[in-house]
Chain A
Amino acid sequence: MADLTAALARRFAEKLAAAGLTDPGAAVAACLDDRLAFSRPSPHEELLAGLVDRLGVGCVLLAPPAQPHRTILEFLAGREAPAIRPRDCETRTFFHDIPVIAEPTVEAAAAALSRRKGAYLPGVGILAHGALSPEQAFVTVSSVAFAGFVKFFADFLAASRAGTVDAAYGAAFAAACRNLPPPPTVVPHLARGPFTDRDTMLAAMAQAGRATVELGLVDSVFGNISYNLDGVLAISQTGAALDDLPGAMDLVPLDGSSCAGLTASSELAAHAALAALDGRQAILHGHPRFAVIMSMDCEDLATCPRRERCHVDCARERYAGATPIVPGEVGCGPRGLVHTMPPALAADGGRSGVIVCGHGVFTMGAHDFGDALAALCAIETSCRARYFAALGIPTETP
């Protein structure tokens, strides 16, 4: 049992590195079954053991973030303590804020983690707990890194427009930019459609999901994908890892004749609405970072009375280049993106993509995922260029 638990801990520590969230070997996972097991020896063992005990959970992850997340989170923690308030929509749905732990004691860390899923301990890393499985903690680490990234760059642009960037922010920004992974350029070839049988279709979806994660256009635990095969929508399940889709897709009849979509992505309704409006078969949804950041850049940000609610009800018609930006929350609520995104993407005979404000991008392909992935990539690349252009930085390495 103890060996299995240690293996589980190692698997999740390695998963964090594979996702680029930590440097290889940097993360520590503490998992409890009958006994507590660590993924590796660490000077923080006592802290983690104390947290597992105090929180009564099965797993705690300590993830010293890889660059540029380290620079970003250290800066935000210093500036925003006692808590970092995420600005992107997805993180705001599931997290209230990210507490900054004042000192590396069990007491302080337990106080933060007893009220939130994850927290940041300056100089050490992201701490997250999983009551049910290490998977929960992994999702939290990924969300904290994403939320920090988006907030850091979005706030910097806003501060730059307002002329309030100080020396520390400038230095942190330069350091973060030096550590940015290069923008995706080469889009891999994907299986060509139309797909006519389920197995081929499901394999193509799994391939496209993997490619989207590998290009950095979504973190594996987010995003979703679907394909309309003769009125049956194959769609990734809620919480499915986009780079590990086999076995995690539902087949949902679009005529609503069954409840097979009960476990489907929280955006099933949006995918179905889109399938009804637009004949293209393939839908891809990712969270490319600069597209999300640029969707939150509004010229009215200082004066707009709804500036705290852009992501749910912005009155302006907005674009990033030719790509429309629409408001909308996750899921099917009255302010859900199900009401805004599908008509925008299907407009004008079918657009290449739509950005949901503060959230992510939806794209389509006529019969396969090749065009959908290319469009997702192109939107991110152009948003990234726009971001630096808006700062007056022609090439992004300062």
Chain B
Amino acid sequence: MEHPTAHILFCDLSAGACRREPLDPELARQAPGGRALAVALLAARPRAVWDAPDAAVVLAPGALAGFDLPGVSFAALAGTNPHTGGVLTVAVPGGLGRALARLHLAAVVVSGRAAAPTALFLDVDGARLLPLGAAAGQGTSAVMASMPAHDGALVAGPAALAGSTLAGLWADGLHPVGPGGAALLLTAKNCFAVAVLAQGEGPVPADPVALAGARAAMERLVAAAPALAGPCGFGRYGTAALLDLTAGRRMLPTRHFRETVFEAAGRLSAPGLFARLSPRAAGCPGCPTPCRHVTANGTVLPDGDAWSHLTALLGLADPDLTVAAYAACRQAGLFAPGAAALLAGRAEAAGRDLAPDALLPALAALVAEGPSVSPSAMAVKGVALPAFDPRGAYGLALSLAVGTSGPDAWGGLCLGHELLRKPVATDRFSFAGKARAVFLGENAAAVAASLGGCPLYGLAVGLEEWALALSAARGEAVGAAELAGLGKRTVLVERTINARAGLGVADDDLPARFFAEPGSSGEGIVVAPLPREEFLAAQAAYYRLRGLDADGRPAAEAAALESPWPI
């Protein structure tokens, strides 16, 4: 059959020229789209430092992103990690992935460097480079406003212009795209925005009836998942809903991870904020549980990581201040959780909580610091930890340590079984079985990221459903096990890129605090330091499952055997 997204667009910003090449069918079969294809293309190129003109950034829509499936519109962005020199892959929500897929683009590979701040605009007529002028320094809203009409857009802001390793991207003006540093991949090329307009319908599936069946199955499972569609779920309050849960489980990162319970958490319950601000829901195209929320005056409410880190991690409990701080981060293009973690570390060093009225000036000062910002101490691979204390969930702790691009709370799907009881509940204070759980969870997450799925939907949609959908789209049977193999290969390719950049077992570790200091025990919950020996045993077991050597590098044979790509 015809591959729905059959071309790769190569854009050389130095030359100001783009060329379109058909996607190699064998590569398309092995790496159908999204994260798998992005890292395959990246691995096939010669190594380059992240800010060199010959470094490439790949933007690849999920293989199913063009179809009308719930929570399936994502693209993946991949490039050289400014923190590690290894790989950085991030999920891009919103309309961009769907629009790229509907332009029949499997990937956009950006290299070179434009002479001045530029936007890349794609539509049916091809690619255009638009000079941004002064807009690049004026905030993400100004950049968005300077774009022609589009279905999806990814923009960077002043923090990226200043070269900050805390600079994130914003998708459609709604979704933060992190971690900090992600924006630098594009802005090192002097590219401050990518916008895509795709008129017309999506691709035609090989078997429309089967695709409708797959869609119905996905919708049913999402509706039956309390964390997504329930009255307290993300569809109602966004991921900020998680703060009550992390507080109740005594794993709410507080005061730079010195405590795991915040005395003022009750004031930070998402429903209180929503009751006062009455925001409307917004989200990705066709999402049945839109997780972003916008007030009448256009303020976007914080996501869970930002909400938690801009409050408890700083010892602050003023919801309005937090909303204002998040708005400032959005305009500046600062990735809020990373910025908050850095300020929390400075507060700890200073020996006192940040004063509430110092927060907004401190964020502004962070932008001005530009590239001289040193990474947070509570980080893995240079990226601040998300809003879950690792001492409160051991599988999660392992997955945060071993994530190829840095700590990603959804990367190993441990939040599902350790906190949200999906698909079943596991003992969160045990490493038993967790190496395998992380291995399988990472594979499944990589599959979803390759097909265009929302990471949160990993709570409901599994490989069985992805196999039904992909089979229907392509008209050839794909099994869940085959898909698991795709996820496994994808992670292995990322590991290979990391190994080439010199990353090893020391990079797959958590900050020492978590092994030395307890969290805040109470109410019958004991939050002990992570047991170091058991952590190392789980890490070693994880390496064995992945076919890595004791230093976390793909064994030579394994890489050759498992990866069909020229790496």
CB within 8 Å of B: which residues of A? 4, 32-34, 54-58, 92-94, 96, 110-111, 114-117, 130-133, 135-136, 139, 237-240, 248, 252, 256-266, 268-269, 272, 329-333, 336
User: A55, A56, A260, A263: which has the most chain B beta carbons within 10 Å?
Assistant: A263
Q: Let me know if A96 and B423 touch, CB within 8 A.
A: no
B437 at the interface (CB under 8 A from A): yes
Q: Is the CB of A331 within 8 A of B224?
A: yes
17 of the cross-chain contacts (CB-CB < 8 Å) are A33-B432, A57-B436, A96-B217, A114-B482, A115-B481, A130-B424, A131-B437, A132-B423, A238-B422, A258-B266, A261-B231, A262-B230, A263-B421, A330-B224, A331-B224, A332-B229, A333-B224
Contacts of B237 in A (CB 8 A): 259
Q: Which residues of B contact A135 (CB under 8 A)?
A: 424-425
Residues A259 and B271 in contact in the complex (CB < 8 Å), given A33-B433, A265-B226? yes
- Tell me which of B231, B272, B437, B481 contacts A332 (CB under 8 A): B231
Contacts of A115 in B (CB 8 A): 464, 467, 479-481
Q: Which residue of A lies closest to B213 (CB)?
A: A96
| A332 & B230 in contact (Cβ 8 Å cutoff) | yes
Interface string of B256-274 (1 = CB under 8 A from A): 0000000000100111100
Chain B interface size band reads 35 or more
- Expressed in whole angstroms, the Cα–Cα distance for A32 and B541 within the complex equals 12
Tell me if B248 and A260 are in contact (CB < 8 A).
Answer: yes
B221 within 8 A of A: yes
| B 421-435 to A, binary, CB cutoff 8 A, 1 in contact else 0 | 111111000001100
Note all chain B residues with C-beta closer than 8 A to A263.
Answer: 226-227, 245, 419-421
Which of B217, B221, B424, B440 lies at the interface centre, i.e. has the most chain A CB atoms within 10 A of its CB? B424
- When C-beta atoms are compared, the residue in chain A nearest to B272 turns out to be A257
B244 within 8 A of A: yes
- Smallest CB–CB gap between B278 and chain A, Å? 13
Question: Which chain B positions have C-beta within 8 A of A55?
Answer: 481
Q: Tell me which residues across on chain B come within 8 A of A257, comparing CB atoms.
A: 269, 271-272
Say how far A28's CB is from chain B's closest CB, in angstroms.
Answer: 19
Residue contact B425 to A239, C-beta cutoff 8 Å:
yes
Task: Give B488 Cβ to nearest chain A Cβ, in Å.
Answer: 9
Task: Kindly list chain A residues whose C-beta atoms are within 8 Å of the C-beta of B271.
Answer: 256-259
Bound-complex Cα distance A116 to B468 (A): 11
Is there contact, CB below 8 Å, between B232 and A331?
Answer: no
B residues contacting A by CB (< 8 A) are 217, 219-227, 229-233, 237, 241-245, 248, 266, 269-272, 288, 417, 419-426, 432-433, 436-437, 440, 464, 467-468, 479-482, 484, 541
Report yes or no: A259 in contact with B241, Cβ–Cβ below 8 A.
Answer: yes
- In the complex the two chains form, what is the Cα distance from A263 to B245 in whole Å? 8
A260 touches B232 (CB 8 A): yes
A264 neighbours in B (Cβ, 8 Å) = 226, 230, 232
Q: How far is the CA of A254 from the CA of B548 in the complex (A)?
A: 50
B433 cross-chain contacts in A, Cβ below 8 A:
33, 58, 132-133
Interface centre among A93, A114, A135, A264 (most CB of B within 10 A): A114
Residues in A with CB closer than 8 Å to B468 are 96
Q: How far does the alpha carbon of A259 sit from the alpha carbon of B252 in the complex, in Å?
A: 14
- A272/B231 in contact, CB under 8 A: yes
CB B397 to nearest CB in A, in angstroms, measures 16
A-B contact count (CB 8 A): 155
User: Would you give the shortest CB distance from A95 to chain B, in whole angstroms?
Assistant: 9
Chain A nearest CB from B240 CB (Å) reads: 8
Contact A132 B227 (CB under 8 A): no
Are B424 and A333 in contact, CB atoms less than 8 angstroms apart?
no
| A268 touching B231, Cβ below 8 Å | yes
- Besides A260-B244, A331-B230, 10 other CB < 8 A contacts? A56-B440, A93-B220, A238-B422, A239-B422, A259-B232, A259-B241, A262-B232, A266-B226, A268-B230, A332-B229
Contacts of B484 in A (CB 8 A): 56
A4 to B431, CA, bound (A): 14
Contacts A259-B269, A259-B271 hold; do A269 and B231 have CB atoms under 8 A apart? yes
Distance of A248 Cα from B230 Cα, bound (Å): 17
Shortest distance between the CB of B342 and any CB in chain A (Å): 28
Closest to B244 in A: A259
A contact residues around B231 at 8 Å (CB)? 256, 261, 268-269, 272, 332
Contacts of B426 in A (CB 8 A): 132-133
Closest to B440 in A: A131
Measured CB to CB, the closest approach of chain B to A203, in angstroms, equals 16
Nearest CB of B to A51, in Å: 11
Q: Which residue of B lies closest to A257 (CB)?
A: B271
Give the Cβ gap from B561 to chain A, nearest Cβ, in Å.
Answer: 15
Question: In the complex, A261 Cα to B221 Cα: how many Å?
Answer: 18
CA distance in complex: A377, B44 (Å): 65
Contact indicator A262/B227 (Cβ below 8 Å): yes
**In the complex the two chains form, is A266's CB within 8 Å of B225's CB?**
yes
Contact A114 B420 (CB under 8 A): no
Which of B224, B232, B242, B421 makes the CB contact (< 8 A) with A237? Answer: B421
A261 touches B226 (CB 8 A): yes
Q: In the complex, A263→B270 CA distance in Å?
A: 15
Please tell me which one of the listed residues A96, A117, A260, A262 contacts residue B233 in the complex, with CB atoms under 8 A apart. A262
Task: Answer whether A258 and B244 are a contact pair too, CB < 8 Å, given A331-B224, A332-B231.
Answer: yes
Residue from the list A110, A111, A238 in contact with B421, Cβ < 8 A? A238
Which residues on B sit within 8 Å (CB–CB) of A336?
223
Q: Inside 8 A of B440's CB, which chain A residues have their CB?
A: 56-57, 131-132
Q: Which residues of A contact B270 (CB under 8 A)?
A: 259
Name the residue of chain A whose CB is nearest to the CB of B245: A262
A33-B432, A269-B231 known; A262+B244 contact, CB < 8 A = yes
Q: Which of A139, A240, A261, A329 is packed against the most chain B CB atoms within 10 Å?
A: A261
Task: Say yes or no: A268-B481 contact (C-beta < 8 A), given A259-B245, A329-B220.
Answer: no
* In the complex, chain B residues whose CB is within 8 Å of the CB of A330: 220, 223-224
Q: Distance in Å from the Cβ of B286 to the closest Cβ of chain A?
A: 14
Residues of chain A with a CB closer than 8 A to B423's CB: 132, 136, 239
A268, B424: Cβ atoms closer than 8 Å: no
> Contacts A33-B432, A96-B468: A266 and B230 contacting too (C-beta < 8 A)?
yes
A332, closest chain B residue (CB):
B229
Q: Which residues of A contact B242 (CB under 8 A)?
A: 259, 262
* Cβ of B86 to closest chain A Cβ, rounded Å: 26
Which residues of chain B are within 8 angstroms of A266 by Cβ–Cβ distance? Answer: 224-226, 230
- How far, in angstroms, from A33 to B421 measured CA to CA in the complex? 22
> Could you tell me the distance in whole angstroms from the C-beta of B406 to the nearest C-beta in chain A?
24
B437 contacts A114, CB within 8 Å? no
What CA separation (Å) do A83 and B481 show in the bound complex?
A: 18
CB distance from B314 to the nearest CB of A (A): 21
**Alpha-carbon distance A114/B462, docked complex (angstroms):** 12
Most chain A Cβ neighbours within 10 Å, of B226, B440, B541: B226
Q: Is the beta-carbon distance between A329 and B272 smaller than 8 angstroms?
A: no
CB-based contact A131/B436 at 8 Å: yes
Assess whether B464 is in contact with A117, with CB atoms less than 8 Å apart. yes
- Residues on the B chain within 8 Å of A272, using CB: 231
Cβ contacts under 8 Å, B482 to chain A: 114
**B230:A96 contact, CB within 8 angstroms:** no
Contact partner of B223 among A32, A114, A329, CB < 8 A?
A: A329
CA of A47 to CA of B229, assembled, Å:
39
Residues of A contacting B223 with CB < 8 Å?
329-333, 336
CA distance A85 to B520 in the complex (A): 50
Residues of B close to A259: CB separation below 8 A: 232, 237, 241-245, 269-271
Q: Which residues of A contact B288 (CB under 8 A)?
A: 333
Q: Please name the residue on chain A nearest to B425 by beta carbon.
A: A239
* Interface pair A93/B224, CB less than 8 Å apart: yes
CB-CB nearest in chain A for B465: A96
Counting chain B CB atoms within 10 Å of each CB, the highest count among A116, A139, A266, A268 belongs to A266
